Amino acid sequence: MTTATIEARETRSEAPRGRGTFLRRSGRLVASAAVATALLGATPATAGERSLLSSLPTLPAPRDRTDPPKDYGVPGLAVKEHTSAARTYLELTAAGSQGYCIVDQSGLRLKTWTTETENDSTELWRLVEKDGSATFERTRYVVASYLASAWVKSKTSIALREITKANGVTVWGYRDASGDVVLLARGVTSGREVRPAKPEEGLGIDFVASECGFGAARLGIGAAKNGVLAQLRGKLPPVGEGKAKVVPQFVVDGTLAKLARDPEPVLSVRVRLME
């Protein structure tokens, strides 16, 4: 079950030629794999690595402090003040070499640097792989512009589960406190999160992006009944030299769905190389 296989085939009906196939459930039309595949630009795929939702570790909910600690500073985050004739602002830079990345709260966009104003709260993510295992760390912080610094509101971490490993790409995963699934992989540059929307609106698509050494995408548990999809795109290390040098690209297709016969939602993930 991947981007091209939403296993919700309880009743199948053919749409007019050229308009794809739709799945009917409880009087509602849900876009099928053919439609989702066309939207994501993916080729039809066979079932990927399957995992029960309960097999994924859950990241604890953050316990934010309301007052700053005695010692300011956020591990993995550098804060620098810049002054010009027009304004004074702070530049925040993540320690990418240590696995840190700034999360843009306007969407799931991972950035190496950003600018913030006082009391803007945001997050710093960190992915560390060692000896075949991986750890994910989430730090919520607040910027104190009057001190040209920042302080930690909360920090949580978890040992990730390896979902699949293929074609030189390892995909890790966990569940956040709300129950949503988060997929992570190194080398990711962009991606999409696809969720069922109102019948008259069709599928909803949100784009994700990353400037860091890894990227992420979410699959919402609330939409698992009708099937929810996510896709990550990235690059592998270059192969060859000179004119023969090529940069292989990969795609991670993920699906979260629950069939009537399943005791709980099932996650399926597949890695494929782009031709």
How far is Cα 227 from Cα 98, in angstroms, rounded to an integer? 35
β-pair partners for 246 = 239
- Residue by residue, DSSP assigns 205-227 as EEEEEESSSEEEEEE-GGGTTT-
Strand order in the sheet with 121-130: 49-52, 266-273, 249-257, 228-235, 188-196, 203-210, 109-111, 100-104, 121-130, 133-144, 149-159
Q: What is the pLDDT of residues 49-80, one digit of tens each?
A: 899 999 999 999 999 999 999 999 999 999 99
What's the whole-number average pLDDT of the chain?
Answer: 82
Lowest mean pLDDT among 27-41, 155-169, 198-212: 27-41
pTM of the model: 0.81
> Across residues 155-182, what is the average pLDDT?
96
Which residue matches tokens 């994700």? Answer: 208
185: left (phi over 0), alpha (psi -120 to 50) or beta: beta
